[in-house]
Structure 1
Amino acid sequence: MSILSNLADECLATATCQLPVELLTKGSFSGRQTAKKIALAAHVAQIDPYRAATHNKGIMNGVDAVTIAMGNDWRAIESAAHAYAARDGQYRGLSHWSLSADQQFLQGELTLPLPVGFVGGSIKIVPLVQLNQQLAQIKEVSDLEKLLVCVGLAQNLAALLALVTEGIQRGHMQLQLRSTALAAGAKITEVAEVVQQLQAQGQTDLTSAQLILQKIRKNGDHNDRI
C-alpha cells in the first residue's frame, strides 16, 4: 500500500484572465451578451454535475494534449483534476467565469492540481519531448504547470464561447467537413473550397468531397491553360 496519491491537492496551479467584452462579439450577439451567457454557462457547471462533467472534459482536452506532448502521464493528471472537482462532496466545474462590476470585462479563473514532471523517467530520453520543451520554452517544472493551466482555461473559453453562440454542433460539423476534405485528398489550400461546396450542396460524404475536389482541380487546370 506504499504508493503516492494522484490527488496532489498541495501542488496547485491557477490561471486567471480578463477580457474586454467587445472581443466576444459574435454574430448577432453583442460582446456583453456573450460574456453574460458564458458566465451563466459556467455557473450551471457549478450546480449540475451532468453539465460539470462535460465542462471539465473540455478543459482536459487541452491539458491532456500538452501533458502527453511533455512526456507526462495524462491519466494521472485526469484523475487528479476530476478528484479535485469533487473535493467538497459534489462534482463541480473546475473553472469560474464572471463579469466585472462595471460589466466591461469577462473574468476567468481555473485551478488544477498538476503533479507533473520536468526531468526523470522517459522525459529526458525521448527526443520529441525535448523538442516540445524547447518550443514551449519550458525551463523548469513551474513553467510546465503554468502552460497546462493556461491552456485549460483557454480551451474552456473556446468551448463556452461556441456553446452559447453558434452551438457546439456547428463547430463539430466544420471539423468533420475539414476531415472529410482531407480524407478525399485535398491539400491545405483546397480544404476551404471543398468544405464550402459540401455545405452548399448539403452532401457531406467522402464520395461527394472527391467529386468536388476533381472539379476544382479540373477548373484550375483549365484556368492555367487559359
Structure 2
Amino acid sequence: MNTPVEGFSKLTKTQKIDWIATHCTKDPKKTKQLLQQYWNSDPRVQQLHDEFIENTVSNYYLPFAIAPNFLINGELYAIPMAIEESSVVAAASKAAKFWLERGGFKAEIIGTEKVGQVHFIYKGAKEKLSDFFAAAKPELLKSVASITKNMEKRGGGINNIELRDLSDTIEGYHQLHCTFETLDAMGANFINSCLEEFAKTLKEQALAFDAFTEEEKDIEVVMSILSNYVPNCLVKAEVSCPISELGNTDMPAKAFAEKFVQAVNIAKAEPYRAVTHNKGIMNGIDAVVLATGNDFRAVEAGVHAYASKTGHYSSLTHAKIEDGIFKFWIEVPLALGTVGGLTTLHPLVKLALEILQNPTAKELMQVVAVAGLAQNFAAVRSLVTTGIQKGHMKMHLLNMLNQLGATESEKQQLVTFFKDQTVTNAAVKEALEKIKSE
C-alpha cells in the first residue's frame, strides 16, 4: 500500500525506484526490471533524459513515425509524428498522397503575436489609473531593456502594453495586456521574465505617483503570466481542387464533396460532434508538436479556446463548394518554437527538426497546421464513405493480437484473413481461437 514519503526528491534514482516498487506495486522485482528496461543504453543520453524533469525513474516511450509525401507550398516534406494511436500516421500519409496529386497543401502565416498579462487589483479612481499608466508606460518598457536587448536585435521584442479595465467582472480587477514577438522561440521564459519585471516596476511607479492617495498607491499584483490563448498567432492551411478530381473515393465525386461539406457544417453547428471532429485534428497537430519538442498541452488549450471564440464551440476546419471547386481549410493558433527548450537537447527532437529541414517557427506552424488538416480530411472522408471503423480497426488489429498473445505466425495468418473481413474484438478473438484449436 502506498504511504507518505519525506524527501523523495533527495533520494537517488535507485532509491526512488526501490521505494516505488516496494510501496506502490505488487511485484517489486518485476517493477524494477521494467523501469530499467526502458533506460537508454548510453549513460550520457540517459542522464540527459533524467535531467529534463524531476524525480525521473525511467523513460516513457512513444512510437516515432514518419508521414511522407506532404507537398506544402511547393516543397516536399516527410513529417515526424510521435503518437500511440493506431491509424493516425496511416491516415495522414494517405491524405498527403491524395493531395500530392492535386497540387498539395497551401499554407500561410496570418500572425505571430503572443500574449502575456500582469493581473492586478486597484480600487481607486479610474481616471487616475489611466493617467498613471500613460506616465508609467515608458518606465515599464525601460525596465526590461536588458531582457529584450537580444530579442530586439533579431527583430522581436515587445509589441505593445495596454491597460485593461475588467472591474465589471471582479472588483478592482485590471491588467496590463502585453503582446510580444518572439521569432523562432516559443518565448514562454522571455515573456514571463518581462511580465514579472513589469509587475515590479508597476508597484514602484505607483508608489512614486503623486496623484495617487496612499491607498491608491497600494496596487496589489495578483500574478504575472503568459497566456496560451494566442488568437493573433495564427496560421491557415488549405487544399482545393475541381470536384471532378475528387474521384477514387467510395462514391461519386459530386456526392462525396457535398456530403463532406455537410459533415463539416454539422461539426460547426453541433458541439458534441465538434469536440470529436477537433480531437481528430489534434491527433495530427499534437503528434508533430510532440515530435518537435513543443508544448502540446499549451497548443491544445489555445486551440480549443479558439474553437470557442464566438461563444459556441465549433469546428476548426471549413469546407465549401464554389464554382465547381472543392475547398477545405483550417485556421488555427499555434505558438511554436524551433530554438530553445528541448529543441537543442532531445536527440530525437533535433532529428525531427532536421528531417523537416530545420524550419523556422513560421515554417513549423505551417507544417503542423497541414498535419491537422490532413488528419481531418482523412477522418471525414472515412466517416462519409466507408465509416471510421473499417480503416481504424484494421490498423488496430496488431494491437488486439498482441493483447491476446498471438504468435508471429498467428499474426501473419490473421492479418491476411482480415484484409477482406470486418475487424471487431469478438471477431479477432474468435478467429485466433480457431487457429489455436486447429
What TM-score do you get using the length of structure 1 for normalisation? 0.83
Asked if 2 retains the 8 angstrom alpha-carbon contact of 1:7 and 1:83, the reply is yes
Per-residue displacement from partner, 1:125-158 (whole Å, max 9, x unpaired)?
Answer: 1110000111122321111101000011111100
Pick the structure with greater CA Rg. 2
2: distance between equivalents of 1:114 and 1:50? 24
Comparing both chains, which one has the higher relative contact order based on Cα–Cα distances under 8 Å and sequence gaps of 6 or more?
1
Asked if 1 retains the 8 angstrom alpha-carbon contact of 2:285 and 2:369, the reply is yes
Asked if 2 retains the 8 angstrom alpha-carbon contact of 1:96 and 1:108, the reply is yes
TM superposition shift of 1:121? 1.5
Distance 1:171 1:197, change over 3 A: closer
1: distance between equivalents of 2:397 and 2:436? 13
Equivalent positions of 1:203-214 (< 5 A) are: 203-205=427-429, 208-209=431-432, 212=435
- Give, as a single letter, the amino acid of the residue that structure 2 aligns with 1:156: N
Asked if 2 retains the 8 angstrom alpha-carbon contact of 1:24 and 1:35, the reply is no
Aligned to 2:239, the other structure's residue is in SS state strand
2: distance between equivalents of 1:50 and 1:110? 19
1: distance between equivalents of 2:272 and 2:420? 37
Match of 2:318 in 1: 96
Q: What is the CA RMSD across the aligned residues, in angstroms? A: 2.6
In structure 1, stretches of 5+ residues that fail to align are 216-226
Match of 2:387 in 1: 167
In structure 2, stretches of 5+ residues that fail to align are 1-222
**Could you say which structure has the higher helix fraction?**
1
Asked if 2 retains the 8 angstrom alpha-carbon contact of 1:70 and 1:129, the reply is yes
Say whether residues 1:43 and 2:265 are aligned partners.
yes
Asked if 2 retains the 8 angstrom alpha-carbon contact of 1:25 and 1:34, the reply is no
Equivalent positions of 1:173-184 (< 5 A) are: 173-181=393-401, 184=406
Number of residue pairs aligned between Structure 1 and Structure 2: 211
Equivalent positions of 1:21-40 (< 5 A) are: 21=243, 22-27=245-250, 29-40=251-262
**Could you say which structure has the higher strand fraction?**
2
**Higher mean C-alpha deviation, range 178-187 or range 149-158:** 178-187
2: distance between equivalents of 1:25 and 1:197? 19
Equivalent positions of 1:39-188 (< 5 A) are: 39-102=261-324, 105-181=325-401, 184-186=406-408
Identical aligned residues as a percent = 37
Per-residue displacement from partner, 1:77-118 (whole Å, max 9, x unpaired)?
Answer: 00010000011111110000111222xx32111011100111
- Give, as a single letter, the amino acid of the residue that structure 1 aligns with 2:302: A
What TM-score do you get using the length of structure 2 for normalisation? 0.44
1: distance between equivalents of 2:343 and 2:249? 41
